[in-house]
Amino acid sequence: METSKFDIADYLDSKEMIAEYLNSVLEEGDNDDVVVALGHIAKAIGMSKIAEETGMSRPSLYKALSTGSKPQFETIMKVLKAVGGQLRIIIGLFILLGLTTVNAQQIALFDSEGEARAYIDFDNNGTIYMWDGTPVAFVNNDGRELCVIGFNGNFLGWYIEGIVYDKKGLAVGARKGAVGLITNIEKIKGIQKIAPIRPIVPISPIKPILGNNWSNTSLAEFLFYGKK
């Protein structure tokens, strides 16, 4: 008598089942288990659908969610957004993966001097705030990459693998650990000001070859180009 091979993805047929499954993995599993769990969820929903919504190719998605892989923070964010991850699940996942140590939804951006000048608030739809709480830009997925768009409608650059690049492909900022940079202690953030209404997102220009050098434009100056 032959029996079919058990596949947990076959049973993840509702948001409730997915949430329960992720919760159980977060409580009992390790990093590798969480990545595999995301793979099961993506398979249950449909790899093609997840790939389309994240802007990733199917091979890249398979590779990122395979056993033993160490997916980037942005990849985790894309997949969780696509599967409709609940806030407490996302926070637990980030803590478990050690992707951030302060606030799982706020990613500090450091300039070339190692000073935290701004942060991305993923709990507020990827809004980018200066450290004093002034909203200046936001992160937008154009279907291929995460782009940085100013609230004044200007296309500013790209946010790729934790690094903020300008339109010339030079780095202007980065999250902690994304580059070989000694970062200073983060100061207390200012109170967030109300973000403006988001403009129509412009068409992304052709992405240049990304360099390993820092731009002469500071992170603060770069972001203020987007202030409304």
pLDDT (tens digit per residue) in 22-75 = 767 666 655 567 777 777 777 777 777 777 777 777 777 777 777 666 666 667
Determine which of 4-13, 110-119, 163-172, 199-208 has the lowest per-residue pLDDT on average: 4-13
pTM of the model: 0.60
Extract the tokens encoding 202. Answer: 């412009």
Q: Which residues contact 63 (CB under 8 A, 6 or more apart)?
A: 69
Q: Nearest 5°: phi and psi at 182?
A: -80, 120
End-to-end alpha carbon distance in the chain: 69
CA dihedral sign of residues 165, 182, 94, 226: negative
pLDDT of residue 99: 45
Q: What is the pLDDT of residues 73-89, one digit of tens each?
A: 667 767 766 766 544 44
Range list for CATH 1.10.260 in the chain: 8-87
HSE-CB at 44 with a 13 A cutoff on CA atoms is: 22
- Looking at CATH, the fold of the domain delimited by 8-87 is given as 434 Repressor (Amino-terminal Domain) (1.10.260)
pLDDT over 80 (residue 90):
no
